[in-house]
Amino acid sequence: MKGEAFVRLARVTKRYGARTVVDAVSLDIAEGEIVALLGASGCGKTTLLRLIAGLETPDAGEIWIAGERVAADGRNISPPRARGIGFVFQDLALWSHLTVAGNLDFVLSSIGIPKRARKMRIEEALQMGRIEKFADTYPHRMSGGEQQRAAIARALVSHPRLLLLDEPLSSLDADLKANLLAELATMQKALNGTTVHVTHDREEAAAFADRVVMMREGKIERVETVDRTRFANT
Amino acid sequence: MIQQQCLIQRLSDFKHHRRLAALALVLSLALVAACTDERQTGITTGNNANTSGAANEVTIYVSTDRVFSEPILRAYEQKTGVRVNAVYDTEETKSTGLANKLLAEKNRPQADVFWSNEPIRTLVLKKNVVLTPYDSPNAEGIPATFQDPENYWTGFSARSRVIVYNTNLVKPEDAPKSIFDLTDPKLKGQVAIADPRFGSSSFHVAALYAAIGDERADEFFRKLKANDVKIVPGNSVVRDMVARGEVKVGLTDTDDVNVALEDSQPVAMVFPDREGIGVPVMPNMVSLIANAPHPEAGKRLIDYLLSPEVERMLAQSEAVQIPLHAGVEGPKNIPPLASFKPMTLDYGKAADRLEDVSRRLQPILGL
Amino acid sequence: MLRLPSALPSARAITLGVAVALFLLLCVLPIIYMLGVSFVGGDGSFSVGNYRQLLIDARQRELLLTSTLLGAGTALLATSVGAPLGLLLARTRLPLKRMLRIAFIIPLVVPPYVSALAWILMTGSTGFVASWLGCDLLSAWTYSLTGAIIVLGTSFFPLSMLATEAAAWRVNGRLEEAGLLVASPGRVLWRITLPLIAPTVAAAALIIFVLALAEFGVPGLLRVRVFTTEVFTAFSALYDFGAATALAVPLLAVALIVGILAKLITGERLLATRRNLYPGLVLRLGRWRAVVLCFFTIILAASVILPLSALAIEAGQLERIIFALGTSGDAIFNGLYLSTIGATLTCALAVLLGYGRARSGARLRGLVDLLLIVIFAVPSTVVGVGLIGLWNRPGLLGAIYTSQTIIVVAYLARFVPVAALMLAASVRQIPVSVEEAAEVGGANWWRTFTRIVLPQMRTGLAAVWVVSFIFCFGELGATLLVAPPGESTLPVRVYTIIANTPPSEVAALALLQVGIILIPLALLGFFTGGERGVR
């Protein structure tokens, strides 16, 4: 682990009514690291991801990103847009009224990239996802796999410091999934981006992550470091 | 009972879908309501044409205002035990009237009798072969002007078109005495009339064209338009505008003004053109429907409506209608029929002008 | 393994087939009948005489322009008031939201004609404002196209509000969250949420356009000459069914053109959205709170408090209302239960049609939408006369015609198209996969439909039911023509009574009518208006 943690969770707690979904979770994630959150559905892993993103407000505990305290004392200090996050949702959440290029453009214009630079960035992201020919296509005209790529391209186009993946590949078949994950890992390593990947699939977690965090009933049960060399050739 | 229990069971299943539960509740209420209705319709289906043999009921379509006509029909029920199924009309400018229902039902009539509050619609129905002749014994004593020589209709209890004015704004001696006074520039923007394509207003203009000829009538309406006349939907609207003082004078019907008088509004009426072209008198008209489901019962109802007794009731009610039978006491504040000259002597001729006059007036009045 | 195609049609095909057949029978056939009548000449042979006269004089063209302006102005005003209200109801934390929602539905419940009367009482040349100020400032403005637009706009904005709120609920919260990760809430609202709900808002605006186009009572009272009066004149002054139907055709053409324009502007957007428990975007009012409260107060004052107060003052003593209530028992009962049945059947048929429409190809879907809006634009009198022509026959049809069932038939004929349009958006948003999943799981189609599809669209369904109920309860044009002898519905009673009564009694009856329809709505609102989600 390299020096100061890029993401630091300190006794983060989230309750819905009487139910504690995330129970005093503490975790440090280093810059450039890929961490998988693994567990059965309902274990709190998605909620933890949404807490990091700022889409949920923690009831207790602190969240730090890149040395900045973004949530504490039961409230979010920085809104999601100030956290520099790329997020791929489980249902992808592509904006259906915009083309693929339009989806990416909205992200870039929102973070204040001037018009001329945006065009290049969009092309670059589409190339990375190998979906250049879908630039002017509406999401619902694309296949499932193409939509996944578009969602990933949208999450990466802003060059986020932190990429959060909420089981975005769960509906893909095994081959396609493995391919996409390998590509994603390469891209993230190239950009030195930090990644948190939520999944319920142990294989998928191990194939992609540097570390696997196993969650159960809102708590971290175990943390395993993956021996990357084992997978170097696959 | 069992079904209801099932329903309750279902409802409790839906506890977490309160929205659906409420919907189901409303539905079941509707069903219950529908069941209770079953009983009601059990009685009312008697108005079906199939049961024409049963002469203890009669169906009448009434365009005379419900507040005036309903008590008359109730009295008939009480007197004879015959059930009267009535359909009432709305003010013509607010919805399409009963004449259209009668025309549409022509091939399979549901009504036995049509009671109209003015001549035009009856004559339209006569022209369209909706009516059948009936010479009621009670028509005796009603002046010939108010009877169809072919007996398709008989007039009774008349109203008149009148000039209504606001007594706060106009002194009685300054009130217009003739409709031609309404073009006086002193009344610019201060005159309201009901849309002359509908109801009694349409009768008035058709009668006017028949009485004074097209050129003079066109000229009169052009001047009226130049005087910034307000054309409104309905005679009651005219009366209300005058009563509120939005305009000083208007053209409306006797019964409309009387309602305002009973309500102590600052209005008064003038019977126009008592000298000159004559007062626009409008009798009620009653007719038998051709191929009516209960023709005999219909004839008895017509006899009743043409009786002096009904004329008396209508004269004494808020409708203040002028009796046509000699010897029936007329309403207070309304001059008796014998005291003035009616404008129209041939209602058929006036009615024939209706369509033509409506089309003529549209460009003249900017309708 | 492949299942062999069954020789019998599937339950789905039968159900949808029956629904389409009913739709054709109830809604389309009366109109075709009337169109047929319009092509019959005076001598009984085929003739286009009724159409030869159309729009050849400048007067009629001007009337049609006024009608179009009235429709467009009303749709614009109603949407600019209703859509923000709907969004605020869906996406902000507000106290007394349930009460507010019901209060904002009141204007839809007040018959537009009565609203116009109330406005005249307030701003006419001798109205409250004039007598209070001592001079008349507002009457020229009341008796104008602007006045008519304001009266109708304040009457119809609840439709836009309900549609917008329902649409806002349907937007997939993840789509907004994805926006919030990079953009401010305001930007997400403008660039993500609003475009996503725009088709629904536009559909509501189109419906309002058609409603305003069909109105002749309000323009008549405010002395605005509109084309719709021509149709009405052909019936009421000339008694010419064929000419009347022909005169309705330009109105239908306007509705069609505006419908096509709306489609072109909003496009056919497939909303890959699903209903989430919680919305992604919650608007925090912060310092805008005061502005929003101001907005609410102004709308509530202009559309509810002032008109109803004007009526209450005019009505005077309470005993008038109590008297009116006492003598209207049967009419109230009939009105309530017929509208309940009418609204429920309307929704049932509309759901199936909306479902069939949503599951058909894009081109067919576009055509169906246009057909629905054009049918809805057919004047109620044309529908009523058409129904008489079709149903007043010997045998079973005649038995229905002479019973109160015909009133429900009239409700269906008038309102199934608009309900189907309003529901279309809800059905479209249920992914086919949901059904496929259920079907693969072995459930039959009917079960899937009632257990999976319907519950998913219950918000939209509830809103459409309420609107249908209000429409049915207030229906007059067709009801008056088809209602059998004997006591009919409350509006028919009110309108047959108000012909000659003083304005005070009209006001009392109008208040009564508003009160009667509000009671079940308020109850329903309290049972069903459960606050989902704005955490």
In angstroms, the CA C173 to CA C277 distance is 9
* Residue C442 three-state SS: coil
In angstroms, the CA B8 to CA C454 distance is 20
Residue among B19, B255, B314, B352 with most chain C CBs within 10 A, to mutate: B19
> For the range B187-191, what are the long-range contacts, defined as Cβ-Cβ under 8 Å and sequence gap of 24 or more?
B187/B227, B187/B248, B187/B249, B188/B227, B188/B228, B189/B227, B189/B228, B189/B230, B189/B247, B190/B247, B190/B248, B190/B249, B191/B224, B191/B227, B191/B228, B191/B229, B191/B230, B191/B247, B191/B248, B191/B249, B191/B250, B191/B251
Distance between C449 CA and the closest CA of chain A, angstroms: 23
Angle between helices A100-110 and A115-128 (to 10 degrees): 130
The CATH H-level superfamily of C13-41+58-528 is MetI-like (1.10.3720.10)
The beta-carbon neighbor of B91 closest among C341, C344, C499 is C499
pTM of the complete model: 0.85
Q: Do B95 and C530 touch (CB under 8 A)?
A: no
Going A173 to A175 to A178 to A181, the CA torsion angle's sign is negative
In angstroms, the CA A14 to CA A64 distance is 16
Q: Does B26 touch chain C (CB under 8 A)?
A: yes
Partner residues linked to B281 by β-bridges: B160
Residue among C56, C60, C239, C494 with most chain B CBs within 10 A, to mutate: C239
Q: Do C181 and A106 touch (CB under 8 A)?
A: no
Using the predicted structure, report yes or no on whether residue A174 has a pLDDT greater than 90: no
Q: What is the pLDDT of residue C298?
A: 92
Q: Is the ipTM of this complex over 0.95?
A: no
CB A134 within 8 A of CB A142: yes
Q: Do C178 and A95 touch (CB under 8 A)?
A: yes
CB B293 within 8 A of CB B49: yes
In angstroms, the CA B145 to CA A201 distance is 99
In angstroms, the CA C499 to CA B67 distance is 9
Domains of chain A: 1-84+160-234 (3.40.50.300), 94-158 (no CATH)
Q: What is the pLDDT of residue C464?
A: 87
- Chains A and B lie in contact, requiring 3 or more CB pairs less than 8 Å apart: no
Q: Do C384 and B237 touch (CB under 8 A)?
A: no
Per-residue buried b or exposed e for C432-456, using 16+ beta carbons within 10 Å of the residue's own CB: eeebeebeeeeeebeebbeebbbeb
What's the pLDDT band for A134 if we cut at 50, 70, 90? very high
Distance between C183 CA and the closest CA of chain A, angstroms: 5
Q: Does A184 touch chain C (CB under 8 A)?
A: no
CB B90 within 8 A of CB C516: no
Partner residues linked to B321 by β-bridges: none
Q: What is the pLDDT of residue B154?
A: 95
Residues of A in contact with C172 (CB under 8 A): 91, 93
**φ and ψ at C360, to 5 degrees?**
-100, 175
What's the pLDDT band for A27 if we cut at 50, 70, 90? very high
Nearest to C11 by CA among C332, C524, C435: C435
Q: Do C497 and B29 touch (CB under 8 A)?
A: no
Which chains contact A through at least 3 pairs of Cβ atoms less than 8 Å apart? C
DSSP per-residue string spanning C392-414: -STTHHHHHHTSTHHHHHHHHHH
Q: What is the pLDDT of residue C531?
A: 44
**Hey, what are C74's tokens?**
């009303």
Q: Do A80 and C184 touch (CB under 8 A)?
A: no
Is residue C361 packed enough to be buried (19+ CB in 10 Å), middle (13-18) or exposed (0-12)?
Answer: exposed
User: pLDDT tens digits, chain B, 367 residues: what are they?
Assistant: 444 444 444 434 434 444 444 444 444 444 444 434 433 333 333 344 444 445 589 999 998 888 889 999 999 999 999 999 999 887 665 556 788 899 999 989 999 999 998 888 899 899 999 999 999 999 998 998 899 999 999 999 999 999 999 999 999 999 999 999 999 999 999 999 998 888 888 889 999 998 899 999 999 999 999 999 999 888 888 999 999 899 999 999 998 899 889 888 999 999 999 888 899 999 999 999 999 999 999 999 999 999 999 999 999 988 899 999 988 888 887 888 888 888 877 888 888 888 889 888 988 988 7
Amino acid at C416: V
Residues of B in contact with C406 (CB under 8 A): none
Q: Do A81 and C178 touch (CB under 8 A)?
A: no
Chain B nearest-CA residue for C402 = B48
Q: What is the pLDDT of residue B92?
A: 63
Residues of B in contact with C139 (CB under 8 A): 246
Q: What is the pLDDT of residue C434?
A: 64
Ranges of H-type helices in chain B: 2-13, 18-44, 66-80, 98-104, 119-127, 199-212, 214-226, 235-244, 254-262, 295-305, 308-316, 347-352, 354-365
C8 CB-near residues (< 8 Å, 6+ apart)? none
* CA-to-CA dists, residue C305 to C136, C497, C513, angstroms: 22, 25, 16
Q: What is the pLDDT of residue C438?
A: 63
Going C202 to C207 to C213 to C217, the CA torsion angle's sign is negative
In angstroms, the CA B346 to CA B349 distance is 5
The beta-carbon neighbor of A80 closest among C180, C192, C271 is C180
Nearest to C243 by CA among B112, A92, B190, B100: B100
Q: Do C178 and A139 touch (CB under 8 A)?
A: no
Mean pLDDT per block of 10 residues along chain C (535 residues) reads 52 85 93 91 80 80 93 96 92 82 88 86 78 75 90 94 86 88 90 88 92 88 87 82 90 92 72 54 78 90 90 78 75 89 94 84 83 92 92 89 92 93 73 65 72 77 88 88 85 77 78 83 65 41
Q: Do B66 and C480 touch (CB under 8 A)?
A: no
CB C34 within 8 A of CB C382: yes
Phi-psi region of B58 (alpha: psi -120 to 50; beta: other; left: phi over 0): beta
Residues of A in contact with C192 (CB under 8 A): 95, 106
The beta-carbon neighbor of C175 closest among A79, A81, A93 is A93
Residue among A95, A148, A158, A165 with most chain C CBs within 10 A, to mutate: A95
Q: Do C179 and A106 touch (CB under 8 A)?
A: yes
Give CA angle at C442 (C437, C444), nearest 5°. Answer: 95
Nearest to B202 by CA among B98, B316, B337, B354: B354
Distance between C235 CA and the closest CA of chain B, angstroms: 7
* CA-to-CA dists, residue A62 to A34, A59, A79, C17, angstroms: 21, 10, 14, 60
CB B228 within 8 A of CB B188: yes
Amino acid at B146: F
Residues of A in contact with C181 (CB under 8 A): 53, 55, 80-81, 83, 85-87
Chain C nearest-CA residue for B83 = C486
In angstroms, the CA C206 to CA C156 distance is 12
Q: Do C180 and A86 touch (CB under 8 A)?
A: no
CB C240 within 8 A of CB C41: no
* Residue B73 three-state SS: helix
* Residue B278 three-state SS: coil
Nearest to B320 by CA among B110, B157, B187: B157
Residues of A in contact with C273 (CB under 8 A): 96
Locate tokens 């294989």: which residue? A203
Going B139 to B144 to B147 to B151, the CA torsion angle's sign is positive
Q: What is the pLDDT of residue C250?
A: 92
CB C239 within 8 A of CB C138: no
Q: Do C481 and B233 touch (CB under 8 A)?
A: no
**φ and ψ at C275, to 5 degrees?**
-80, 125
Length of chain A: 234
Partner residues linked to B116 by β-bridges: B285
Chain A nearest-CA residue for C280 = A55
Residues of C in contact with A138 (CB under 8 A): 270
Residues of C in contact with B107 (CB under 8 A): 392
Q: Kindly state the DSSP code that residue A133 receives in the 8-state scheme.
A: G
